[in-house]
Amino acid sequence: MPRSGHCVSRANISKGALKVLYRLKDAGHQAFLVGGGVRDLLLGRRPKDFDVATDARPEQVRALFSNSRLIGRRFRLAHIRFGREIIEVATFRGTTPAEEGGEEQVFHASGRIIADNVYGTIEEDAWRRDFTINALYYNITDYSIWVFADGLADLQTRQLRLIGDPARRYTEDPVRMLRAARFAAKLEFTLHPDSVAPIPAMASLLDDVPSARLFDEFLKMFQSGHALACYRHLREFGLFRHLFPDTDCWLDDPVHAADALLIERALENTDRRIAAGKPVTPMFLFGVFLWRAVRTRAEQICAATDDLSEIQALIAATDEISSRQARRIALPRRFGFPMRDMLQLQPRFDTRRGRRAMSLLGHRRFRAAYDLMLLRASVGEVDQEVADFWTDIQEQPVDEQRNRFGLTGRRRRPAKRRRRSGSSD
C-alpha cells in the first residue's frame, strides 16, 4: 500500500522510533514499524509503544545503538532506550525449523515453544505473527505499508483472526488465548469463530505457562483501561478459571451474585482511574478477586477450631489462598504483602471506638483497605453507616476524631525513651 493509500504519518510516530528506523536503514538494513503501532495508527488511535522489525541480527542492532541492551531467552530482542521510551527491535523470525537438538528452537513436551531464535525474511516473519491485524509493516524507505494475511481487510471489518491453524498456534504459545481476549476488549473487535472454537478445550494449556509470564499478561489485561471488557471475554472463553481458580469456582452461583458484582465494580473503577490518568496497583485487583475465597476459608477455619480469633483465621486464610494463587500468577512480594494487609484490615472497620480504631486511620494500607471496604458496602456486604463513618471521619480535625472514637480524655504523653548505658552513648 503506497503512502497515498493510507493515513500513517511520521508526525504520529515517536522520535525514538524514527531514529531507530532511519539508523537501521542507513546501515543497509531493512527497517519496519510493525504490529500494534501500525494497527493503531491505521485505526486513528495513539499507539502506546512502537516496535521495530528488521533483518539485522540482535548483535548487529546492539552494535549500532550504544543505548541498547539485548534481552530475552525465549525470543532474543534489543531494547533501545530514549529517556523513558523503550523501542523494541526484533529480528525477522523464520519458519524453517532449526536442526533437531539445536539451541535456536526449543519445544516443551506439550508443543509450547520455549525458545525460538530462528531468523528469516519479512515474509516468513509475517506468517509467524499471531493475528492478521498485527501482520502490518510500515516501511521507512518509501513510507508504504506491507500487508500480509489479509490483515487490512480484517482491520476494516473489525475482526480478530489468528494466522494459520488456531489449535497449532495456541499450542505453540497458550498466551495467545489471553491476547485474543485482550485485543477483543481493547479494540472492540469480534474474534473470528475459527479462532474461538479451540479455546475451551485448550484453555488448560495455560496451567503450564510460567507464573511470572502470566503476571506480565495480567498487567496488560487489567491495567490498560479495558479491564472489565477483558474480564468478561476471559469468562466467556473459559480462560479465567485457569488464572483465578479460587475465584471462578463460585462466580456462576446466584447465591454469590453480590460478590460477582463487587468484582465488576472494582474493574469499572480501575478503568475509570486509568482513563483519568490516576495510578492503579495490581495488588488491589488481586485482593478483590481473592476476597470471597479468603473470607470463605476464614469462616471454615473459625468453624473448625475455637483457638483462633476472627482476625487470626483471616490471616491464616489469606496466607493459604494467596500462596495457592501464586502458583498460577506470581504476584511479586512488593504487591503481595500489601494485598494481604488490605484483606486482613477489613474486620477492623467494624470497630469504631477506642485507640485501636483510631490507629487504623494511620495504617499505611488504610487507603487501599478503605477503598475495598467501600466496594463491599456498595454491594451490601458492609453497612452503609459504617462506610459513611469512615468516609466522614477522615475529614475531621484530630480532636474531633478522638471524640468520635470515644477518646475524650487527655492525650497520653509518649513514654520517655531510656538511654542505654555504655560506651556507645
What CATH number does residue 86 fall under?
3.30.460.10
DSSP summary character for residue 206: G
How many alpha carbons fall within 13 Å on the CB side of residue 167? 4
Top-confidence residue, 401 or 99: 401
Strands 190-191, 159-160: pairing is: parallel
The alpha carbon of 72 is separated from its chain's Cα centroid by a whole number of angstroms, namely 19
**In the predicted structure, residue 283 carries a pLDDT above the cut 80:** yes
Identify whether 364 is part of a domain: no
DSSP summary character for residue 132: G
pLDDT digits (tens, 9 = 90+) for 64-119: 999 999 998 767 899 999 999 999 999 999 876 554 444 455 455 555 554 456 89
**In the predicted structure, residue 169 carries a pLDDT above the cut 70:** yes
* pLDDT value at residue 59: 94
The DSSP element (H or E) to which 336 belongs, if any, is helix 333-344
Mean of the pLDDT values across residues 312-326? 95
CA distance 221 to 239: 13
Domain that holds residue 13: 1-157
CA distance 25 to 40: 23
* pLDDT value at residue 422: 44
The alpha carbon of 418 is separated from its chain's Cα centroid by a whole number of angstroms, namely 49
Identify whether 89 is part of a domain: yes
The alpha carbon of 19 is separated from its chain's Cα centroid by a whole number of angstroms, namely 29
pLDDT digits (tens, 9 = 90+) for 391-400: 999 999 999 9
CA distance 416 to 413: 9
Identify whether 296 is part of a domain: no
**Average pLDDT over the chain, rounded to whole?**
91
Identify whether 2 is part of a domain: yes
pLDDT digits (tens, 9 = 90+) for 35-73: 999 999 999 999 989 999 999 999 999 999 999 999 987
- Sequence-distant (≥ 6) Cβ neighbours of residue 139 within 8 angstroms: 31, 32, 145, 146
Positions marked catalytic: 49, 51, 130
Identify whether 81 is part of a domain: yes
Q: Is the dihedral of CA 380, 385, 391, 394 positive or negative?
A: negative
Strands 113-116, 136-139: pairing is: unpaired
Q: How many CB atoms lie within 10 A of CB 33?
A: 28
Would you list the DSSP string of 345-410? TGGGGG--SSHHHHHHHT-TTHHHHHHHHHHHHHTTSS-HHHHHHHHHHTTS-HHHHHHHTT--SP
Identify whether 35 is part of a domain: yes
Identify whether 79 is part of a domain: yes
* Domain count for the chain: 1
Provide the pLDDT confidence category of residue 408 given band limits of 50, 70 and 90: confident
Would you list the DSSP string of 252-320? T-GGGHHHHHHHHHHHHHHHHHHHTT----HHHHHHHHHHHHHHHHHHHHHHH-SSS-HHHHHHHHHHH
The DSSP element (H or E) to which 54 belongs, if any, is strand 51-54
Identify whether 184 is part of a domain: no
